[in-house]
């Protein structure tokens, strides 16, 4: 289910003066879906309370000509845990998906995945955080209650069944979902997988419909790792390779151009 609940998103933004802040504030304030904007020029920090995706907010901020790096995601109330999956896989498919436990019953899934074929693609949490054989070793859908496959709003579904995300003509799927079955503390260490085809949500009549949604091959995957919440990521220099936050912004999320050594804890994507 798409989420319209506001959450707080913390960005590091290159700003040197109040006029920089004014330009950032101008593109955000009054935008549908933006509830509040707080800017600290000295800390180069922008805090936005919004129901827009983090990618949409980042695009708005960077439309002012300033680089922005997402540093934290938090709920309007108490934060119960957050996680991130750095996605990579076939060809140019790559992205970042963040999970935030808004309450005991609701988990927010906010993500952007690039390099997809236009159209719908199945998205699922898989049981294993094992990438030794790329996405093939991630195991099956996370299904601790041994149920049949279904859609996100179905009572009969795998816990890991998140339905479909939709890529536009540019190959980008930007999404913001809420789910009542996923718990961040249960899925850390498991994996998130995006598939090549649309998930039929168990209704397709195909032999695989009740098992996987008949959603084709596994295109990209990432291990779900614990991540920083609001104000918990003070990094300005990435400890793994010494690059600054802004240099990190120019590096690809995954794949060519990012070594395994620097992919583990990138400052720009925690």
Same domain, residue pair 99 and 65: no
Q: What is the pLDDT of residue 71?
A: 82
CB hemisphere CA count around 184 (13 angstroms) = 26
Task: Identify whether residues 128 and 177 lie together within a single domain.
Answer: yes
In a domain? residue 109:
yes
Looking at residues 203-228, what average pLDDT do you find? 94
- Separation CA 203–CA 188 (nearest Å): 29
- Which is more confident, 234 or 159? 159
Q: How many CB atoms lie within 10 A of CB 94?
A: 22
**Looking at the structure, do residues 154 and 177 belong to the same domain, yes or no?**
yes
Residue 18 has pLDDT above 70, yes or no: yes
Q: Are residues 105 and 170 in the same domain?
A: yes
Q: Is residue 248 in a domain?
A: no
Question: Could you tell me if 22 and 61 lie in one domain?
Answer: yes
Split at pLDDT 50, 70, 90, the class of 258 is: very low
Domain CATH for 102: 2.60.40.200
Express as a percent the part of the chain with pLDDT over 70: 81
Q: Are residues 140 and 108 in the same domain?
A: yes
What are 68-95's pLDDT values in tens digits?
Answer: 888 888 876 666 888 999 999 878 899 9
On whether both 102 and 196 belong to a single domain, the answer is yes
Region 26-46: mean pLDDT is 93
Position 207 in a domain = yes
Residue 172 and residue 190: Cα distance in Å, rounded?
24
The alpha carbons of the chain give a radius of gyration, in whole angstroms, of: 18
Does some domain include residue 2?
no
Convert the pLDDT of each residue in 109-125 to its tens digit.
999 999 999 999 999 99
Instruction: Count CB-CB contacts under 10 A for residue 135.
Output: 22
Is 121 contained in some domain?
yes
Report how many domains make up the chain. Answer: 2
Where does 94-233 show beta strands of DSSP type E? 94-101, 107-114, 119-126, 132-135, 161-167, 173-179, 191-195, 218-226
The range of the structural domain enclosing residue 94 comes to: 82-226
49 and 169: one domain? Answer: no
């Amino acid at each position: 289910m798409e989420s319209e609940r506001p959450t707080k998103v913390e960005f590091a933004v290159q700003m040197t003066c109040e006029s920089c802040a004014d330009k950032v504030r101008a593109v955000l304030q009054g935008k549908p879906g933006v509830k509040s904007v707080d800017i600290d020029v000295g800390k180069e920090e922008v805090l936005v309370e919004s129901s827009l995706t983090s990618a949409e907010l980042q695009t708005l901020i960077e439309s002012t000509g300033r680089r922005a790096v997402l540093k934290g995601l938090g709920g309007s109330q108490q934060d119960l845990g957050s996680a991130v999956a750095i996605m990579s896989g076939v060809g140019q498919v790559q992205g970042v998906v963040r999970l935030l436990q808004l309450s005991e019953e609701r988990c927010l899934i906010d993500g952007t995945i690039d390099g997809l074929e236009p159209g719908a693609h199945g998205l699922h949490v898989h049981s294993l955080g094992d990438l030794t054989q790329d996405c093939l070793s991630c195991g099956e859908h996370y299904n601790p209650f041994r149920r049949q496959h279904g859609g996100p709003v179905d009572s009969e579904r795998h816990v890991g069944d998140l339905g479909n995300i939709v890529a536009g003509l540019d190959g980008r799927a930007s999404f913001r979902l809420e789910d009542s079955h996923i718990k961040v503390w249960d899925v850390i260490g498991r994996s998130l997988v995006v598939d090549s085809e649309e998930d039929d949500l168990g209704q397709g009549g195909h032999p695989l419909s009740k098992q996987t949604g008949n959603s084709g091959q596994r295109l990209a995957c990432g291990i779900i790792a614990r991540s920083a919440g609001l104000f918990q990521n003070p990094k300005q220099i990435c400890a793994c390779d010494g690059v600054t936050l802004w240099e990190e912004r120019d590096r690809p999320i995954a794949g060519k151009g990012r070594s395994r050594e620097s992919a583990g804890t990138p400052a720009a994507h925690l």
